[in-house]
Amino acid sequence: MKLSYNIVIPVLNEEKRIVACIPKIRGLLLGNGFSRFSITIADNGSTDQTEKISKDLAAQYGDVNYVKVGKKGVGLALKTAWDQSSSDVIGYMDVDLATDISHFMEVAAILEKGGIQVVNGSRNLHGSRVINRSVVRTVTSRGFNFLLRGILNTKITDGMCGFKFLRRDAYQKLREVGLFNDGWFFCTELLCVAERVGMRIQELPVSWYDDRDSRVRITQTSIYYLKEIFKLRSRRIHRDCK
């Protein structure tokens, strides 16, 4: 592999999951011949043993780093970690590894070819598989993506899937345009801004498993997302940053 990769795992009180997550990702990468990679645990305000366990993992594995962010916010955690990265490709996976991590091999194949700047995992494409998701979360997810396409006129099929990767130079350009959200909506904002400025995005059908241990409060999150969608629609973004 010619490119170097930095995979960020945002965490908040994930002392149980982080122990299993890191070895699985490392096993996939090493088993498939990746040598130029790093994994960053981005801790956005944990109060349990996540920090200690993460630091132990970083001490055990030379390719694992730990970044502590002073307050909550997935978007803030990702931006903090990505701003510090020097890898050619940056991205993230959720700590529960709900998206089958074997899809990373497809991501690498796409980005190694060149041309594509952003790869987005989608649960809503032909070939995607969604397993064990509740009816309520299914309806909520579909509703959100329907509003996303209707209000923002986007072609993105899945703004919320926690499996996104992009070239670092593309991310730097997007930072110049403006990535303002510090919460969960950041991941959707990134895609929509990239689309608006004309970046080349490829969506990838993924297998996704819901372990039913979600921390998401559906009503509160839905209101938050709706507000952020309208806020993003009101922004003027020029197509001068391809």
Q: How confident is the model at residue 113 (pLDDT cuts 50, 70, 90)?
A: very high
The answer, yes or no, to whether residue 34 has pLDDT greater than 80, is: yes
Above pLDDT 70, what percent of the chain? 95
pLDDT of 74-101, one tens digit each?
A: 999 999 999 999 999 999 999 999 999 9
The answer, yes or no, to whether residue 42 has pLDDT greater than 80, is: yes
The answer, yes or no, to whether residue 20 has pLDDT greater than 80, is: yes
Question: How confident is the model at residue 235, as a pLDDT?
Answer: 87
127-133 — which CB contacts under 8 Å span 24+ positions? 127/205, 128/205, 128/206, 128/207, 128/208, 129/206, 129/207, 129/208, 130/208, 130/210, 131/207, 131/208, 131/209, 131/210, 132/209, 132/210, 132/211, 132/212, 133/208, 133/210
Domains recognised in the chain with CATH numbers: 1-94 (3.90.550.10), 98-242 (no CATH)
CA atoms within 13 A on the CB side of 92: 28
The answer, yes or no, to whether residue 240 has pLDDT greater than 60, is: no
pLDDT of 192-225, one tens digit each?
A: 999 999 999 999 999 999 976 655 566 777 788 8
Mean pLDDT within 218-241: 79
Least trusted range by pLDDT, from 112-116, 157-161, 235-239: 235-239
Residues 6+ apart with CB under 8 A from 128: 122, 205, 206, 207, 208
Question: The whole model's pTM is what?
Answer: 0.93
Question: How confident is the model at residue 140, as a pLDDT?
Answer: 81
- From CA 65, how far away is CA 161, in angstroms rounded? 23
Structure token digits, residue 76: 């803030």
- The overall average pLDDT reported for the chain is 93
Question: How confident is the model at residue 229, as a pLDDT?
Answer: 94
The answer, yes or no, to whether residue 6 has pLDDT greater than 50, is: yes
The answer, yes or no, to whether residue 167 has pLDDT greater than 70, is: yes
For 13, left (φ over 0), alpha (ψ -120 to 50), or beta?
left
- From CA 87, how far away is CA 165, in angstroms rounded? 12
The answer, yes or no, to whether residue 137 has pLDDT greater than 90, is: no
Question: How confident is the model at residue 241, as a pLDDT?
Answer: 44
Question: How confident is the model at residue 48, as a pLDDT?
Answer: 97
